[in-house]
Structure 1
């Protein structure tokens, strides 16, 4: 199989979808690997390392798309890439279709095969290709939140963990999945007072036994959320509906119940966001202010720590990529039901339920 790894061109996306180590394994098995020049530079990998591993270095993104049977990426194709994607070409990456109609329409038009990291399922359920980046984003959300609570960044001027004699910040986390749990661990480790909300009582019972005592587990409801808003300093949105659009748990009107300088971090923004006033931002221009509330809504948070993120991501994605390379995507998905769950659009047809529900008019 001919596998192509283009350089990511989304704003400040520094990760790469294939490492030299992965390249070496594919080449050893007889596959051809095409890597765009400098694709791995921002993750710490030089073109020379890819060449030593057996890759062919191509000068531009157009060459990679034109020659590869399978494209492996990190983030969804952006508009300038749409026309490069060919009929029957497999694109293996994060897509998050439900939050982007233009992307969905473009991939339908391309008649490509779109295999989405975020909906691939593990043997026992779960989302093994989403988990590593959720872990990174959950931990980063607290790191970024602490920074923007500082006065020079526009925040309330609060140290997340406080000091003896001065209370710590109050952190509200919506969603107790991987992102929310990792955020809770980080915030609690910095000695903040943390409230973690979810509607899954079994999950809350489990976390009550493993999280430290400065994390309070609360059933999520509009009433309980509203009760927390006036006294919360940092809010982290961490709601996940696999393949679907996140629900709005905090509305525009609810911002008026918060104090000026409160910070909201919406990690679910690449799936539409769980805070109504959130829209995607970039690492270049990460925040904006509405009603005195600082919004941080970077859609590719892990791109800021590419060395860590690339290794975490490729550790999870490479075994699936190897299956695809060895068997072809059709046989690989027939034999692996979890991988089949990653199919979102196939040759112009939406095949994933939540994406179809988000765009009913596009379903033939």
Structure 2
């Protein structure tokens, strides 16, 4: 199969969909891999590394001319849409539920789209997991930075000091993102509260941390109580394939502490705070009603080398399956890949995406 690796062009996005080692694996199985010039240069994967791995390095237009399977990291930007044709299959993070214009444009192009974030294996999201773990860890790191006075925050240290109370960190959601955020916040010696509606996850965290954290069942009342008292709030909610629910209304902001910080990890699915809007690594935060919002849509892109290696470990078996079996047969025999199918022959076919986009 002809496999293409385009260079990512999203703001400060240096991840690459296939490492030289992954390329070599596919080449050894008889596939041809085309890599765009400098696709991995941002993380020290040079063109020569890809050539040694057996790839052909070329410009973007040639890449799309030969490609059957296009493997990316992030969704196409508007200026890339015209490159996609019905003979292509795109395998990448898409997050279409938050972007109707992109969804309709990709459907119109005729490209088949399989989204990493909805590939599902027995209820588990294997391709979302590694980036969720990274985003969860980063959420505390960037949140602590935003709390600094020079960044507009209240000027509070997460762990406090002897005689000084620690910061109040509230994590909304106890899934993969939330669990990693809790781990980092506990390690920083903050006072941590996690809210979720899944009692099994709350019990697991309560047992793991031996009552070091507060595990609270999430209701509108408990959410409001803990959010209004928080110094740092992490939004870590996920409904696979669907838009994130808006859990924190705008009117709560004026009742929060001046200089408090919210980090919306769910922003690539539309965000779970009513006041969230997408930001970039160039301008990652903004202030509204005295509250700092951090809403970068590609948070793992801040650590692209780690993120690329983690992503390849998860995606390579699925890329191999698509290449070895062919797109149509792989979709027939693989339930996880079928669950990942978002667009097929012009049809936006994933039920949660259709529901979120309010399509008939």
What band does the TM-score fall into relative to the shorter chain? over 0.9
Residue 85 of structure 1 corresponds to 84
1:195 aligns with 2:193: yes
Instruction: Show the counterpart of 1:46.
Output: 46
Give the aligned partner of residue 255 of structure 1: 253
* Structure 2 residues without counterparts, runs of 5 or longer: none
Cα shift at 1:143: 0.3
Tell me, in whole angstroms, the C-alpha distance in 2 between the residues paired with 1:72 and 1:296: 28
The C-alpha deviation readout for 1:122-146, integer Å capped at 9, x for no partner, is 2x32100000000000000000000
CA distance in 2, matches of 1:46, 1:213: 48
Q: Which residue of 2 is the match for residue 293 of structure 1?
A: 291
Q: CA deviation at 1:62?
A: 2.2
Structure 1 distance, partners of 2:82, 2:130, is 30
* Aligned counterparts of 1:246 and 1:220: Cα–Cα separation in 2: 16
Deviations 1:93-114 (A, max 9, x none): 0001100011101111011100
> What pairs with 1:21-100 in structure 2 (closer than 5 Å)?
21-59=21-59, 61-100=60-99
**Whole-angstrom CA distance in 1 between matches of 2:229 and 2:354:** 39
- Following TM superposition, by how much is the alpha carbon of 1:212 offset from its aligned partner in structure 2, in angstroms? 4.9
8 Å Cα contact 1:192/1:214 also seen in 2:
no
Contact 1:120 1:128 in 2 (8 A): yes
SS in 2 for 1:95: coil
Match of residue 215 from structure 1: 213
What displacement does 1:57 show? 0.4
Secondary structure (helix, strand or coil) at the match of 1:83 reads: helix
RMSD: 0.9
Q: 2:177 aligns with which of 176, 179, 182?
A: 179
Per the normalisation by structure 2, the TM-score is 0.98
Q: Given the superposition, is the C-alpha separation of residues 21 and 212 from structure 1 closer, same or farther in structure 2, using an over 3 Å criterion? A: farther
TM-score by length of 1: 0.97
Any runs of at least 4 consecutive aligned residues in structure 1 with deviations exceeding 6 A, and if so which?
A: none
Q: Distance in 1 between matches of 2:227 and 2:256?
A: 6
CA contact (8 A) 1:86 1:110 kept: yes
| Cα distance in structure 2, aligned partners of 1:360 and 1:280 | 21
Give the drift of 1:310.
Answer: 0.2
Find 2:309's aligned residue among 287, 311, 314. Answer: 311
2:228–2:252: 8 Å Cα contact kept in structure 1? no
Output the CA distance in 2 between the equivalents of 1:257 and 1:156.
Answer: 15
Aligned length: 360
- Does residue 1:144 correspond to 2:135, yes or no? no
